[in-house]
Amino acid sequence: MATRPRHVRQVRFAELGEAGQSRIARAHVAVVGLGALGSVAAEALARAGVGKLTLIDRDFVEETNLPRQVLYTEEDAREGTPKAVATERALRAIDSELELRAEVADLAPSSIDRILAGAQAVVDGTDNFSTRYLLNDWSLERGVPWVYGAAVGGSGLAMAVLPGDGPCLRCIFPEPTPPELTPTCETSGILGTVSGMVALCEATEALKIVSGRVDAVVRGLQQVEAWRGGTRIFAAERDPACPACVLGERPYLRGARGDSSAVLCGRNSVQITPAAPLRLDLGAMAKRVPSLQKHSPFLIRFLAEEHPVTLFADGRAIIGETTDAAVARTLYARYVGG
C-alpha cells in the first residue's frame, strides 16, 4: 500500500518506515470510551493513519467535557450529541479516507464480541474497573492486545497488555480498589493536560502494536506526573497466581462479575447492583460526594447533576430522574467509582 503524502514525515521515522506505515494503514483499532483519554487517543490514531477505527461510548457531550475532550464543541454540548457520533464526525473532517464506525453502546459481555470484532488492538478510554476487567478478560480469551489508561488529579497510568507475553491488568490490580478509596475526576478533579499525556502514551503503544513493532512496546506500568513533572516506568511481571492470565478465569466476560442495572418500575429510577456485594465506608463516601442530603449507618443520599442518588453500604445505588441505564451507569462511575 502506497504511503499517503500526509504521512511522509512519520514514514521518515526510521522505527516505522514504509513497512510500518503500511501496516498502520491496514490496521483496525477500537477505542472504548471517548472521554478525556479516548477522544485524544482516537484523534492521534486517526492522524497517524490507522485505516479503521471503531469508536465506542455510552455517554453524550456535556459542557464540563470541553476542557479535556478535545474533539468536542459547544454545539455538541448544547445538542447533547453522543460522544461516539461527535467523534466520528470530527475525525471524518480530519481524514475523509478513514473507515470509521461509531457505536453508541455500553460495552457488556453480551455485546463485546460483536462490537470489537476484527480489532487488532483496543485502547482503553473508560472510567471504571468493571469495563477494564471485561476488556482484560476478552483480550486474553481472543488474543487481542489492549492498552490500559487512567488519569485523575495531576497524574496518570498507562500499560500495554500483550496476551501470553507479560502481565495482564489483574496481575497488577487483582481486585478493584474499594470505591471509597478510589478518586474519580468528579470527586478529585483532573488537570486537563494529564489526560492528554496519558492518552498519547496509549496511542503510541497501540501504534507500536499494529505497525508490527511489538518489540518496542514499553514493558511496565508508565506513570505520568503532569503537575510535579516527570515520568516513571514501574517494572511489571506476570503474577504466577493471576486468576486471569495464569489460571484462565474469565468472570467479567462470562457475566459473573461486573455491575448490573435494572429500571425500577414506576419510579423513574435505575438501580445499579455490583455483582459481588461491597462493604462501603459510608462515612468516607459522604465526605467526597456532592450535595449530600442524608447520611445514616445504612445509606447516603446526594444529588449528582440533578439526579438524586441513594447509595447503600453494600454498593447498590438507585439513581433517580432517569430510566436510562447508560446514564445511571455513567453517574455511578463518576461519583461512586469502578
pLDDT digits (tens, 9 = 90+) for 179-233: 677 777 777 888 989 999 999 999 999 999 999 999 999 999 999 999 999 899 9
- Which DSSP state fits 190? B
- Which DSSP state fits 22? H
Beta strands per DSSP E along the chain: 28-32, 52-57, 99-104, 121-124, 146-152, 155-161, 221-225, 231-234, 260-264, 269-273, 292-295, 299-304, 307-312, 317-320
pLDDT tens digits, 225-261? 999 998 999 999 999 999 999 999 999 999 888 767 7
Distance CA(201)–CA(207), nearest Å, equals 10
Average pLDDT over residues 141-146: 98
State the average pLDDT for the chain. 92
The CB density around residue 283, as the number of other CB atoms within 10 Å, is 11
CB-CB contact of 224 with 197 (8 Å): yes
In this structure, the dihedral spanned by the alpha carbons of residues 184, 123, 110 and 262, taken in order and rounded to 10 degrees, is 20
Distance CA(129)–CA(132), nearest Å, equals 5
CB-CB contact of 331 with 304 (8 Å): yes
pTM, to two decimals: 0.85
Distance CA(227)–CA(225), nearest Å, equals 6
**pLDDT confidence band for 176 (50 / 70 / 90):** confident
The CB density around residue 50, as the number of other CB atoms within 10 Å, is 28
**pLDDT confidence band for 277 (50 / 70 / 90):** low
Q: Tell me what percent of the residues of the chain surpass a pLDDT of 90.
A: 73
* pLDDT of 132: 95
**pLDDT confidence band for 276 (50 / 70 / 90):** low
Average pLDDT over residues 277-282: 82
What domains are there in the chain, each with its CATH number?
Answer: 5-252 (3.40.50.720), 259-335 (3.30.310.10)
**pLDDT confidence band for 264 (50 / 70 / 90):** confident
pLDDT tens digits, 70-126? 999 999 999 889 999 999 999 999 999 999 999 988 888 989 999 999 999 999 999
β-strand partners of 149? 158
**pLDDT confidence band for 39 (50 / 70 / 90):** very high
The CB density around residue 199, as the number of other CB atoms within 10 Å, is 32
Q: Are strands 28-32 and 52-57 parallel, antiparallel or unpaired?
A: parallel
Q: In this structure, what C-alpha cell is assigned to residue 195?
A: 489526560
Task: Say which range, 21-30, 135-144, 326-335, has the weakest mean pLDDT.
Answer: 326-335
pLDDT tens digits, 163-172? 999 999 999 9
CB-CB contact of 159 with 150 (8 Å): no
Average pLDDT over residues 292-297: 90
Distance CA(101)–CA(123), nearest Å, equals 15
Distance CA(77)–CA(114), nearest Å, equals 29
Distance CA(288)–CA(220), nearest Å, equals 31
The CB density around residue 7, as the number of other CB atoms within 10 Å, is 17
CB-CB contact of 212 with 20 (8 Å): yes
Distance CA(259)–CA(315), nearest Å, equals 10
Q: Per-residue pLDDT for 265 more than 70? A: no
Q: In this structure, what C-alpha cell is assigned to residue 228?
A: 510535579
CB-CB contact of 24 with 203 (8 Å): no
* pLDDT of 101: 98
Average pLDDT over residues 274-290: 85
**pLDDT confidence band for 50 (50 / 70 / 90):** very high
Q: In this structure, what C-alpha cell is assigned to residue 235?
A: 517494572
Average pLDDT over residues 47-59: 95
Task: Say which range, 22-31, 132-141, 159-168, 272-281, has the weakest mean pLDDT.
Answer: 272-281
